[in-house]
Amino acid sequence: MFADVIVDINNVEVDKVFEYSFSDCRITLGSRVLVPFGKKLIEGIVIGVKENSVYDADKIKPINSLLEEKPALTPETLALMQHVCKTCYVTRASALRLFLPSEMRKGKVKEQFNRFVKIKDGLDVEGAISSLKKTAVKQKELLEFLKNGEKHLFTVLSERFGSSAVNAVVGKQFAEIIKEKYFRLPYKDLASVNKQITLTEKQKEAVESVKNTDKTVSLIFGVTGSGKTEVYLNLINDVIKNGKTAIMLVPEIALTPQMLKALRARFENHAAILHSGLSAGERFDEWWRLRNGEAQIAIGARSAIFAPLEKVGLIIIDEEHDGSYSSESAPRYDTIELAKFRANLNNAKLVLGSATPSIESYKKAIDGEYNLIELPDRINKRPLPSVDVVDMRKEVMRGNNSVFSSVLKNEISRCLENNNQAIIFLNQRGYSRTVICTECGHVQKCKDCDVSLTYHQEENALLCHYCGAKYKMINACTECGSPYIKHSGTGTERVVSELKKLYPTARILRMDRDTTQNKEGHFNIINKFTAKEADILVGTQMIAKGHDFPSVTLVGILDADMSLHFSDFRSSERTFQLITQVAGRSGRAQEKGTVVLQTYSPENLTLRQAIKYDYEGFFNQEVSIRKATGFPPFTDIVRVLISGADEQGVINATKAIYQELTEVYNQNKDKFRFFGCMKAPLKRLQNKFRYQILMRIEAKEKELLDKIFIISDKYKSRNLFVSFEINSNNLT
């Protein structure tokens, strides 16, 4: 027998299907196998099985061994993988990796302990290497490999370099073993009682509508607090009862525990969670529970769309408008598109839910492509919170230079006196956005990126939010030596310290990327706040989405304008969504909620629409602007981004690609709305220069997009990154 195999090497040159022979009858579609490749043995996956081959039998190598008895991929996930290859402009290997937990690829995760090997701190690596015998090739290679100080799994290193080399290097005290314990059932303490909830009429109608529509996709447009989660749970229940499975996606890892809690309360251990914040063993085990059919509900952020389930009957994408559903780093993919494909494969239903649907989805709904379901009221007709707009220019004129307006200060006091909770939202982490010299105006910048550095008080350091580099805080300007350094712009750390001064007895929590680094970090903060162990929660957009905190009666939005001034075509849409979402955290239970929105542009139309919850007004205005100016969904924005360390090389490649694309452009002028070549807005990132070719093309010109991709992809090389992005959320 012969097998078509994709080998696990992410490289354009080997992005082919290879043929191997086999006699082991356990090998089948989706099996993971070890195959000879060049001089090595490489992991691969069987994507086709056949009796005959067109090649000479003696030229075909046999499969070395079968890795697991159960095929890792099913016919369904194989089909989805092939669809990803075709539509997402990625290699087969990188598409394949989306479907397997990384632990599975690297080797076996079975123990309760992970053993890592790491180079000893302060070791003179070159010295160590030269002290080794000539014949100790593997040990030398291993030291080279460990040189950058990263820790690696012992098992992985042993596979690669041989366990005797690893043991020898450890024995010679060049490296050390670090043991890390892990627990395999994620969120063990997450217990919840199943609240007996009777659906409202509206909720019942929504459930029935999803079940009875002949359309694959339903869009539930329901205001914040309208009870969408209950609708989802009911739909899942129905699917499970019929012997099928379900996938539930939420936009943030931070939201998975809350949803898992609701799912466990109802479905016990039939729900499994998949996300990158879990430990290796947990992720591995949860993945297998789904693959084995022990769990029938997969929950997670966008990557859970690749869950190893069979017979998927329902896919739910909550907060469907959220930017996180289109992945920004390679492999880039659009979760909603993949979900549609997967739903169609199975004749399943896809449910999109949001209080602020994306322009694209809502347009499809009113154009009749999606089934539109509206939940216009909060549960029990609780009112949406009223929004107080504060003109910060007037505050400044009155001499108030604090980050809090007097209105907000009064509201916080009132909220605390009444024993309620408040949320303060600000989309900037750190203490101050930048530090500036008051003498010469110099702004501290990252040496590798073209961006200013953010001051973090807790670490007393300047951090680059783009590459993560950390610099010592300065005492004097690095340009002119002046000691007069000013903090400019406010971050969450500073908000917390100001709050502490104003309300010394208030208990304050902060939730942003910095406070949620460790495992279950999100979960702990959310839990504390839900348990009322804190009065005020300060945070970035992480706190804006989806959370249900019944005691929150006040939401303060400190910088409502911030996203308005991005040059992105989606900036109005993002602003509208963000304000509606953050405001939606207030007044979800008995007491009425208040929102204080601080802005420097109170007359802005998008802000005015957001505070009135006028989605339709906003939608109509935005659609007419996009239509007139030729932006998505009426066109596709295509960017070819070229970057590399050698600026001249990047410029040359950009010019060459541009020239080739000009031919395509000349032949298709009627389909192009824009075609140009320039420096990227962020000119340098991690010491790589960035240039771009930007195009706006009539929507759905798949053939044309393929052409552009093929041309630009040719220029990829070891030193030159070329990426191809369609309607990216991030065009920096």
The Cα 440–Cα 433 span in angstroms is 18
Reply yes or no: is the peptide bond before residue 504 cis, omega within 30 of 0: no
Per the DSSP assignment, residues forming a β-bridge with 62 are: 21
Applying CB under 5 A, the span of 119-127, 335-343, 434-442, 594-602 interacting with Zn ion comes to 434-442
199 binds ligand ADP per the rule CB under 6 A: yes
Rounded to a whole number of angstroms, the minimum distance from the CB of residue 609 to ligand ADP is 20
8 A C-beta contact, residue 75 and residue 342: no
Nearest residue (CB) to ligand ADP, 355 versus 403: 355
239-268 in b/e burial notation, b at 16+ Cβ within 10 A? bbeeebbbbbbbbbbbbbbbbbbbbbbbbe
| DSSP-derived secondary structure for 666-707 | HHTGGGEEEEEEEEEEEEEETTEEEEEEEEEEETT-HHHHHH
> Taking the complex as a whole, how short is the minimal distance between the CB of residue 428 and Zn ion, in angstroms?
17
Q: Is 265 in the site for ligand ADP (CB under 6 A)?
A: no
Among ligand ADP, Zn ion, none, the one that 257 touches (CB under a kind-dependent 5 to 8 A) is none
CA–CA dist 85, 730 (Å, integer): 22
* Among 178, 197, 440, 502, interactor with Zn ion by CB under 5 A: 440
Contact pick of 17, 137, 178, 197 for ligand ADP (by CB under 6 A): 197
Distance in angstroms (rounded) separating the CA atoms of residues 406 and 556:
12
Residues 78-137 that bind Zn ion (CB under 5 A): none
Cβ contact 557:544 at 8 Å = no
Partner interacting with residue 427 (select from ligand ADP, Zn ion, none; CB below 5-8 Å by kind): none
Q: Which of 391, 330, 321, 392 is nearest to 357 (CA)?
A: 321
Phi-psi region of 218 (alpha: psi -120 to 50; beta: other; left: phi over 0): beta
The binding track of 150-189 with respect to ligand ADP, each residue x by CB under 6 A or -, is ----------------------------------------
Q: Which of residues 203-242 bind ligand ADP (CB under 6 A)?
A: 203, 222, 224-230
Cβ proximity to ligand ADP: between 139 and 354 the closer is 354
Q: Is 200 in the site for ligand ADP (CB under 6 A)?
A: yes
Minimum Å distance from CB 382 to ligand ADP?
Answer: 8
Establish if 443 lies at the interface with Zn ion (CB under 5 A): no
Q: Does 553 bind ligand ADP (CB under 6 A)?
A: no
| Contact flag: residue 450 with Zn ion (CB under 5 A) | no
For Zn ion, the binding residue among 128, 236, 390, 449 (CB under 5 A) is: 449
Please report whether residue 651 would count as binding ligand ADP according to CB under 6 A: no
| Sheet of strand 386-391, all strands in order from the earlier edge strand to the far edge | 386-391, 594-599, 552-557, 421-425, 536-539, 508-511
Q: Half-sphere exposure of 80 toward its Cβ, with a 13 Å CA cutoff?
A: 31
- Partner from ligand ADP, Zn ion, none binding residue 199, C-beta < 5-8 Å depending on class: ligand ADP
Q: Could you say which of ligand ADP, Zn ion, none residue 437 binds, taking C-beta under 5 to 8 angstroms by partner kind?
A: Zn ion
Tell me the site size for ligand ADP, rule CB under 6 A: 16
Tell me the closest approach of the beta carbon of residue 97 to ligand ADP, in angstroms: 32
- Selection from ligand ADP, Zn ion, none that 228 binds (CB < 5 to 8 A by kind) is ligand ADP
Least Cα distance to 463 among 455, 346, 112 occurs for 455
Stretch binding ligand ADP (CB under 6 A), from 101-109, 195-203, 321-329, 359-367? 195-203
Q: Which of residues 567-626 bind ligand ADP (CB under 6 A)?
A: 588
Distance set, CA 66 to CA 30, 42, 59, 173 (Å): 11, 12, 21, 37
Contacting residues toward ligand ADP, per CB under 6 A: 197-200, 203, 222, 224-230, 379, 548, 588
Contacting residues toward Zn ion, per CB under 5 A: 437, 439-440, 442, 446, 448-449, 464, 466-467, 469, 477, 479-480, 482
